[in-house]
Amino acid sequence: MTAVLTNDMIKLSTITINDIDARGKLTHEPRWMRQARMKAWQDFQALEYPNWKKTKTPSIDLEKQLKLEFPSGETKPIRIEKKPPAGSSGKITLKDGRVWRVSLKPELAYQGVIFCDMQTAVLERADLLEQYFKDSSWGIHDKLTALHKALWTNGYFLFIPKDLQVDEPFQVQVIQSRFSICDRNLVILEPGSSVRLEEVFESDQKSNEVLVCANTTQIISEEASRLDYRSTQNWGAHVADLSYRRMMAAQNAHIKSLFTLLGAKSGRTVVTGLSAAPGASIEHNGILGGGDQQRFKIIAEMEHSGKNTEGMMKYKGILKDKSYSYLDGCIRVGQDASKAHSRLEEHTLLLSEKARCDALPALDIKTDDVQVSHSASVRKADREKIFYLMSRGLSEELATNLLVQGFFEDLLEKAPSQSWYESTKALIESKLFETKI
């Protein structure tokens, strides 16, 4: 058994191309997928690590902090339950990369919906995966993304067939327990379809050792399709998070997304939206809540390559204690993307003297006849407003809590359901305050 196939702490310096190939054969991966892994491994070895010093975030020691559990034998398709939780079209729960539970409404399966873990998708629908995995070169490509492409162990696959409208959301729960997470997720909306997707990433126990958790969600929204996408990261304080979200909207397709980042000791989140054809629009927004000595780096990108496309990015953060965030946002407009409309906003509220934020919005425009703008602000909490609320009988903590709610409200009010709104609001309050209103 080669090094990459063991369940011990892997040593990246000992892994070879043959190990990567052997691991793929063990789980019956097709040749094209094994070749893609091997190419990614070669890229990982050739590329340099990102410069963490620039962003004041701690560097990641993959030799010590990447602890993956690999399949120890042949994988088999999982059994899909026919009764998902109330208010859900289907739900999948993954724990340390292993499937705990998958459910899907039978009528949706009958209409052609596919919702399963990635290992099952490799066994049963490798034909679908091939065309979309191969078209995944857009977005950031560096040493860390190459490592993820080489070593991912599981994830989920959601496929919505042409013209199908699904009202209730699909739910994904990813739990980190004893090992690192290295998941690769793929969502495909065929032309004319619409769906809601909700992701939650969390830990179920504490650890004294830092563990890297990496996950990628790639979304392909084909012509005239619509997606409402919510993702919440609430890892434990021992996790170093590496997250990648890539969303592509084809002609007249629309994607709305919100990323809530609350957990982890440190991490890097990369969100890329690509409006690829006329009429496409993407909105990706973010909520960040930091405390203690958390360190975050957020890279938010919007790329326009088609005419008459739209984009909106709004990222808001609240930091307390000694936490720090680095927001790097950029709008890119290609030479063939005339009449593009796009805006980037980065706003951070500091609740303590030692909290810090750097915000760097940027534009890269290669054509005329566009409407593109950006803004950024970093400010302290308005003490006059807090004192006013305190004069009305509220404690300082409750007054600050109200201020926080107002700061995030324009993003939260776009929630697709009241239950999601209430649960996310409560999660933010529990992160930033001990007292609830």
Which pLDDT score, from 0 to 100, does residue 70 have? 66
- Residue 54, pLDDT score: 61
pLDDT score, position 5: 41
Average pLDDT over residues 407-425: 83
- The DSSP code for 81 is B
Note the pLDDT tens digit of each residue in 342-360. Answer: 999 999 999 888 999 998 8
Q: Which of 98, 101, 95, 233 is nearest to 176 (CA)?
A: 95
Q: What pLDDT, on a 0 to 100 scale, did the predictor assign at position 346?
A: 92
CB within 8 Å of 360: residues ≥ 6 apart: 326, 327, 328, 329, 376
Band of residue 436 on the pLDDT scale cut at 50, 70, 90:
very low
Dist CA 185 CA 187 (whole Å) = 7
Residue 22: which pLDDT band, with cuts at 50, 70 and 90? confident
Evaluate whether 299 touches 140 at the Cβ level (below 8 Å): yes
User: Over 70: is that where the pLDDT of 318 sits?
Assistant: yes
Q: What is the pLDDT of residue 9?
A: 45
Specify whether the CB–CB gap between 105 and 146 falls below 8 A.
no
Closest CA to 417 of 238, 171, 172: 171
Strand-pairing partners, residue 328, are: 299, 360
- Residue 406 confidence (pLDDT): 78
Angle formed by the axes of helices 383-391 and 396-412, to 10°?
120
**Structure confidence by residue, pLDDT tens digits, 143-185:** 888 888 888 989 999 999 999 999 999 999 999 988 888 999 9
Reported as a single tens digit per residue, the pLDDT across 101-149 is 899 999 999 999 999 999 899 989 998 898 888 765 555 678 888 888 8
pLDDT of residue 262: 93
In angstroms, rounded to a whole number, what is the distance separating the alpha carbons of residues 256 and 254?
7
Q: Which pLDDT tens digit goes with each residue over 207-223?
A: 778 888 989 999 999 99
Element (H, E) at 349: strand 341-350
Give 163 or 1, the one with higher predicted confidence. Answer: 163
Band of pLDDT at residue 3, cut at 50, 70 and 90: very low
SS3 state at 418: helix
Secondary structure of residue 174 in the 3-state scheme = strand
Residue 362, strand partner residues: 330
Q: Which two tokens stand for residue 299?
A: 């890279």
Q: CA–CA separation, 14 vs 88, rounded Å?
A: 44
pLDDT over 60 (residue 1)? no
Contact 193, 227 (CB under 8 A): no
User: Can you say how many angstroms the Cα of residue 385 is from the centroid of all Cα atoms in its chain?
Assistant: 34
Share above pLDDT 90 across residues of the chain, in percent, rounded to a whole number: 49
- The predicted-structure confidence for 32-43, as pLDDT tens digits, reads as follows 999 999 998 998
Asked whether the predicted pLDDT for residue 309 surpasses 90, the reply is yes
Distance CA 154, CA 27 (A): 11
171 vs 390 pLDDT, higher one: 171
Taking the complete model, does pTM exceed 0.85, yes or no? yes
pLDDT of residue 77: 63
| C-alpha separations of 271 from 179, 209, 243, 336, 362 in Å | 25, 27, 8, 23, 15
Residues 6+ away with beta carbon under 8 Å from 418: none
Alpha-carbon distance 176 to 210, whole Å? 12
